[in-house]
Structure 1
Amino acid sequence: MHASKPFSLRIFVADGDPDGLRVVERSNWVGKALIFPRALLPRVKQREELAYTGVYLLLGPREDGDGEMLYIGEGDPVRPRLEDHYAKKDFWNRAVCFVAPGQLNKAHVQFLESNLVRLAKAAKRVPLDNANNPAEPSLSEPDRADMLVFLENMLGMLPVLGVHAFEQAVAVPVAGHTMLTCRSKGITATGYESTQGFVVKAGSQAVATVTPSMQEHMSRLLDERQVLIENGVLQKNGEHYVVTQDYVFSSPSTAASVLLGCSSNGRVAWKDAQGTTLKALQEAEAAH
């Protein structure tokens, strides 16, 4: 659903502080995004945009401190919902709100919230703080079409704004990127480089146990592997695990290390059909 056409964003840094309130508008679109740290809510809530109906994301560190978690909500209007979360919800430290003054009603934002929760759960990139699956409301055919466009525009903007929770791996590599294979420790995995990171293909294998060295010295990778097991991206199948969906890792080395259960240099572990390492392929490309 992500936008595939070029677009431009206009980012207004409202206080002159790049880490403060930013108001983001997209070319030829009525919606706008407000991004701000939690600490600024007492001041930001006075802005007229938050008096409108909208959908919002709250982001902050997971309880284990490794990576982010996400809460998705809607408000009619947005301001009292954010005030309630400011008082009662602990984890978040930044908010992203989408509004379209005079254009959205309660059913519209319930539709957006429901689809954002669905997409985040399907991507499995970031755990959700949401306790339930909000039902998608019934919309008229024109309203549904309008909200699908609104959703598509949001999804196109969010990665540019540093939010990757809704991105699923693209089905094919970027043109010119080679399909690569990692064979070691009795497992076989395939993947490729993409603009999002390193994509490991569904059906790839991972070892059943990790090395003592990973347990002692690589807690971040161990935690990432455990999260993938818990959310079903890695599923036990006989003597090994199987990757159940195309999944984006931050780098070739992270992908190889998680799959092999040990420290691994992904630029050497991943090879093309001729046995040429990713490192050698990149060196050859750089030389042209």
Structure 2
Amino acid sequence: MSQPAEAFGRTIQLFLVDGTPNGLTIASIHGWTGSVLVATQSTFAKLLARPEVDRTGVYILFGPDPADALSMRAYIGEADSVRDRIAQSAGDRGFWETAVVITTSDEALTKGHVRYLEARLIELAISAGRVSLDNGQAPSADKRRMPEADRANMEAFLANLKTVLPVIGLDLLKPRPVAATKAAGLAMTPDETRFEIRHKSGVKATSVEEEGEFVVLPGSEALKDAGYQGTNSYGELKQELIAQGVLGAAPDAKFYTFAKPYAFKSPSAAAAVVLDRNSNGRSEWKVVGSKLTYHQWQEEKARTAGNPAS
């Protein structure tokens, strides 16, 4: 039986144009003609000077959402020659911190291709729900009319972009964790492990790990005004969660309550918000109904993966 394609590893090539990690970067996948050029505001001029940017392609401007401190914003565009269009778009938008140009090394993209890619990227970003789009309305269906063979080629191109973009720090196409879209009372699936914090203060919280994110589930609690603000690196994040309605509490309530799921970047960030102080999430979170810490669970999982017959 042949191995499914998704089971194979991928080699992503990152070329540091200036030889520095913060300089202009070109990302690609071995054997793929696509090129993804990544610049910050400080290296934007160098991006515009690259010959690849004078080709037909798609571009993305990405940065914090001025209207929501917990979210990111993106603008997606296309052009016959990306250079002039991206420069104009960047000048019209002050939110962006990262500029990305997507083209090919063999100049194979046509106007029809990039119109299709732009429409699909916007559609996928809306579906993922991780960013607010600065595009206004989605492109019309006319932009997606292509011969069947060309559509198939562009979908394969998009599949590679879904791999490359998160590596360079853009997760706008990555679907939200399943737990972040389901109800709090959802039954556990057979292969799902849930974690909990049950603190002596009485606060209780439950979470799951999905795709590298630590999702605290609705109904979980967080300590209220525990007095550790000066030693909580995630104090500002917690205030934003309160301001955005992720955390709420009645005036006389002892704890805040998660009104909806929230995906944290690490178990320690989640534990710090729950316990209102800097916390080692690897030891604070334990497997539900067990004394096994998240760290011990990870080690056991690694041993099992290394010895599948055991």
Contact (CA 8 Å) 1:214, 1:222: kept in 2 or not?
no
Aligned with 1:274 (options 278, 284, 289) = 289
Higher Cα radius of gyration: 2
Contact (CA 8 Å) 1:235, 1:243: kept in 2 or not?
no
Which residue identity does 2:224 align to in structure 1? T
1:255 is matched with which residue? 270
1:54 is matched with which residue? 57
Quick one: distance in 2 between partners of 1:113 and 1:31?
A: 15
Worse-superposed segment, 209-218 or 121-130 = 209-218
- The alignment's TM-score, normalised by the length of structure 2, stands at 0.69
1:164 pairs with 2:171: yes
Contact (CA 8 Å) 2:62, 2:96: kept in 1 or not?
yes
Q: Unmatched 5+ residue regions in structure 1?
A: none
* Aligned-CA RMSD value: 4.0
Q: Unmatched 5+ residue regions in structure 2?
A: 180-187, 250-255, 304-310
2:194 is matched with which residue? 179
Worse-superposed segment, 67-76 or 50-59 = 67-76
Alignment map for 1:2-151 (pairs within 5 Å) = 5-63=8-66, 68-100=72-104, 101-136=106-141, 137-151=144-158
Distance 1:72 1:210, change over 3 A: farther
1:222 is matched with which residue? 239
Worse-superposed segment, 133-142 or 75-84 = 133-142
Of all paired residues, the percent bearing the same amino acid is 29
Distance 1:73 1:205, change over 3 A: farther
- The alignment's TM-score, normalised by the length of structure 1, stands at 0.74
Quick one: distance in 1 between partners of 2:178 and 2:114?
A: 29
SS at match of 1:45: helix
Quick one: distance in 1 between partners of 2:93 and 2:15?
A: 28
Distance 1:49 1:126, change over 3 A: same
SS at match of 1:148: helix
Shift of 1:249: 1.7
Number of residues paired by the alignment?
273
Quick one: distance in 2 between partners of 1:23 and 1:87?
A: 23
SS at match of 1:158: helix
Contact (CA 8 Å) 1:269, 1:277: kept in 2 or not?
no
Which residue identity does 2:40 align to in structure 1? P
Contact (CA 8 Å) 1:3, 1:155: kept in 2 or not?
no
